[in-house]
Amino acid sequence: MPVRKITDRVHWICSLDAERRLFDELIPLPSGTTYNSYLVRGSVKTALIDGADPGFTDELIGNLDRLGTDRIDYLITNHAEQDHSGSLPVLLDRFPGSRIVATPKCVSFLADMLHVPADRVTAVEDGAILDLGDGELSFTHFPWVHWPETMVTFYKRDRILFPCDLFGSHLAVFDVLPADDPVLLAEAKRYYATIMMPVRSAFAGKLPLLDGLDLEYIAPSHGPVLREPAKMIATYKRWMSDKPENLAVILYVSMHDSTRHMVMRLVSALANRGVRTEVFPLAVGDAGRIAAALVDAATIVLASPTVLGGPHPLAANAAFLANLLKPKARFAAVIGSYEWGGHMVEQVKSLIPSLKCELLGPVLVKGLPRQEDYASLDRLAEEIAARHGTI
């Protein structure tokens, strides 16, 4: 559990969880993750911003001891979820004079999830300021990032924003990186897609509040600390905008190659019409990569054979996932192969009520596709390209 000095007043205490491969029992983590805490020492008071996952509490305490931390006055809790708050009960015992600082809603969450005593908690209002002596922490409520109780903390003295999950990445790297580092951006996009995209409309209006801050660093609670923070804020604004790119994401499963043949023809037809594609075979798909691709997609194509009259379970799961993530795609289509009929299109529609998409097609083929079926796929590609031209 390494420690790094960010400024003369701020130390980054990083819990490296490099071996973790699944988050929330759902999201693949090919690069592991971190749980970041930040010790801020003022001339009068000391604050610890965010804690660690419960399994890393002993390491967090050990590093606080290594830093000679004999007193913590404030345990700033930007977000109640246990990967950030799980160490709080032990920290309260280790530093008996400390108080938790959180939003009013976060206070109630912590009482439910960790049974923290009410007399050790201070609820702060939006815009509140906490004086550490020669520097102040200011708190801005940021509900729905990605829970309703979240806030971000700003340390004006050293121009550091501590946004907890906002601007984070699941990347087990202990380094300060530029916000446009390509490896970082790939993981930050995966992270945004799976955690922030479903609630983007709920907090999009709060993001401009950060424009007025003079920032040197963004110090999130997962992944590297970021230099050149304006670049990450601008990237988030692009991801969160309502305008998709000229991209079709094709999610497919094929049992006996008929549907795969259809997918390959559609990819070729779209490319010939200037539409970029990303193709994901669902049998070996990574939900995080799929989610990241959906961030920018204008069209989502679900390709599946029928199984007992409906979509293949992997295709149904992909449709359900897309519905949860609520990407900004404008169009959707269903293609696939069947032998004795069914209700695949109707069932897929029922799985995506949250997607505000115009449905194109479908193209359904009996058995192995014939030339007339390929012609139908070409017409679908033409329709997708034409729709993209209106964006």
Cis before 362? omega within 30? yes
DSSP class of residue 196? I
Q: Tell me: the pLDDT tens digits for 165-191?
A: 999 999 999 999 999 999 999 999 999
Adjacent-strand bridge partners of 261: none
Distance, CA of 352 to CA of 338 (rounded, Å) = 21
pTM of the model: 0.95
Buried b vs exposed e over 229-264: b needs ≥16 C-beta within 10 Å?
bebbbebbeebbeeebebbbbbbbbbeeebbbbbbe
Q: What's the pLDDT at 25?
A: 83
Positive/negative CA dihedral, 100, 102, 104, 109? negative
Ramachandran class of 164: left when φ > 0, alpha when ψ lies in -120 to 50, beta otherwise: left
Let me know the angle formed at the C-alpha of 304 by 274 and 242, rounded to the nearest 5 degrees.
45
Distance, CA of 40 to CA of 27 (rounded, Å) = 32
Q: Which residues contact 170 (CB under 8 A, 6 or more apart)?
A: 23, 27, 29, 31, 32, 33, 187, 190, 191, 222, 223
Give me the domains of the chain, ranges plus CATH numbers. Answer: 3-240 (3.60.15.10), 247-388 (3.40.50.360)
Q: What's the pLDDT at 215?
A: 97
Structure tokens at 235: 């990237």
Q: What's the pLDDT at 133?
A: 97
Specify whether the CB–CB gap between 307 and 340 falls below 8 A: no
Nearest to 269 by CA among 391, 366, 385: 385
Positive/negative CA dihedral, 14, 94, 109, 133? negative
Strands 217-218 vs 225-227: parallel, antiparallel or unpaired: antiparallel
What is the amino acid identity at position 290?
I
Distance, CA of 360 to CA of 363 (rounded, Å) = 9
Q: What's the pLDDT at 1?
A: 54
Report CA-CA distances (Å) from 219 to 101, 182, 206, 262: 18, 18, 18, 46
3-state class of 321 per DSSP? helix
Specify whether the CB–CB gap between 279 and 262 falls below 8 A: no
Strands 176-178 vs 225-227: parallel, antiparallel or unpaired: parallel
Q: What's the pLDDT at 28?
A: 87
Positive/negative CA dihedral, 164, 167, 172, 178? negative
What tens-digit pLDDT sequence spans the chain (391 residues)? 589 999 999 999 999 999 999 988 888 899 999 999 999 999 999 999 999 999 999 999 999 999 999 999 999 999 999 999 999 999 999 999 999 999 999 999 999 999 999 999 999 999 999 999 999 999 999 999 999 999 999 999 999 999 999 999 999 999 999 999 999 999 999 999 999 999 999 999 999 999 989 999 999 999 999 999 999 999 999 999 999 999 999 999 999 999 999 999 999 999 999 999 999 999 998 999 999 999 999 999 999 999 999 999 999 999 999 999 999 999 999 999 999 888 999 999 999 999 999 999 999 999 999 999 999 999 999 999 999 999 9
